[in-house]
Amino acid sequence: MGMSDDKAVEALGGSAIVTRLDSVIAWGRKFSFFTYPFITACCGMEFMSVAGPRYDIDRFGAALPRFSPRQADLLLVVGTISHKQAPILVKVYNQMAEPKWVFAFGACVVSGGMYDNYATVQGIDTLIPVDVYVPGCPPRPEMVLDGLIKLQEKVVATPNQNSYVRGIAPVGEADDRIVTG
């Protein structure tokens, strides 16, 4: 602390590489997302294509789907969320371990999409904080990968660890976290 990176390198005669622990950790986090594919509807087909051989999401390190929310850090909300499904989504989001990110995949998740009616949640951000919005019905795999790249840039741009702690969703019960210690 106290000396900027460039000045430090200069002081050492250019013989050292200087970085901060935060950026190293952010590097680690951005290249290994353990995704939780919360798939409910047709956008799941596009998720399958993105994970398939043609547009390989594994290239970005986000290949391993962990179906336990405790182990996942990227919640991919894919497909229409109805009001019946909303508490389940909030519960899964609460159960995820920090740091966690949410990826809104598809028009139904970003806003209600085509379904402006009594049954559909008009956008996930009314329930949980969202990091990247990917429009489309369904979004092309390239758009999904672009969203992932933007999420990686976001992870790198906010390396301060304290900015990641999200806590529980603003809706729902306070003891939904079901953790202790």
Partner 1 sequence: MDTAAILETGAKLAFVIGINLGFFAPVLAWVERKQSAVMQDRIGANRADIFGFTVIGLFHSLADALKLIFKEDFVPRGADVTMHRLAPMIALIPALMGMAVIPFGGTYEIGGHAVNLVVADLDMGLLFVFAIASVATYGVVIGAWASNNNWSMLGGLRAAAQMFSYEVTMGLTIIGLLMYYQSLSLVEIVAKQESFWNWGIIYQWPAFILFLACAIAENKRVPFDIPEAESEIVAGYFTEYSGMKFIMFWTAEFIEVVTISALCVVLFFGGHHCAFISDAGLVALFGGGDLGNILAMLFGVAVFLVKVCVLIFIQMIIRWTLPRFRYDQVMMLGWKMILPLSLVWILFVGVAILTGLMPTPA
Partner 2 sequence: MAITIKKIERGPKLTLWERSFVPEILRGMWITSRHFFHNMKTLTQEFALGGGRSKRSIMTLYYPEERPVTPVAYRGRPVLVRGANGLEKCVACGLCEAACPPHCISIVGAERDNGDRYPTTYTLDGAKCIFCGRCEEVCPKEAIVMSDDWAELCTYDRGEMLYDKERLLRPEASLARRLAFLRNNAFSKARYQ
C-beta contacts of 17-20 below 8 A and 24+ residues apart: 20/159
Using CA atoms, how far apart are residues 32 and 152, in angstroms rounded to an integer? 10
CA contacts within 13 A on the Cβ side of 33: 23
- Binding region for partner 2 (CB under 8 A): 53-56, 59, 107, 110-116, 123, 125, 130-137, 140-143, 145-147, 149-150, 154
Residue placing its CB nearer to partner 1 in the complex, 70 or 83: 70
Q: How far apart are CA 98 and CA 100, in angstroms?
A: 5
Q: Which does 141 bind (CB under 5 to 8 A by kind): partner 1, partner 2, none?
A: partner 2
Among 25, 39, 156, 168, binds partner 1 (CB under 8 A): 25
Please tell me whether residue 27 binds partner 1 under the rule CB under 8 A: yes
Residue 125 CB, nearest distance to partner 2 (Å)? 6
User: What single-letter DSSP state applies at residue 67?
Assistant: -
The β-bridge partners of 35 are 65, 74
Nearer to partner 2 by Cβ, of 12 and 114: the residue is: 114
Looking at 10, 71, 88, 173, which residue binds partner 1 (CB under 8 A)? 71
Q: Looking at beta carbons only, is 24 or 137 nearer to partner 2?
A: 137
Report the C-alpha gap between 173 and 90 in whole angstroms: 10
- How far is Cα of residue 11 from the mean position of the Cα atoms in its chain? 39
For the chain, give the number of residues.
Answer: 181
Binding partner of 80, given partner 2, partner 1, none, CB within 5-8 angstroms per partner class = none
Contacts with partner 1, residue ranges (CB under 8 A): 17, 24-25, 27-32, 52-54, 56, 58-61, 63, 65-68, 70-71, 73, 97-99, 161, 178-181
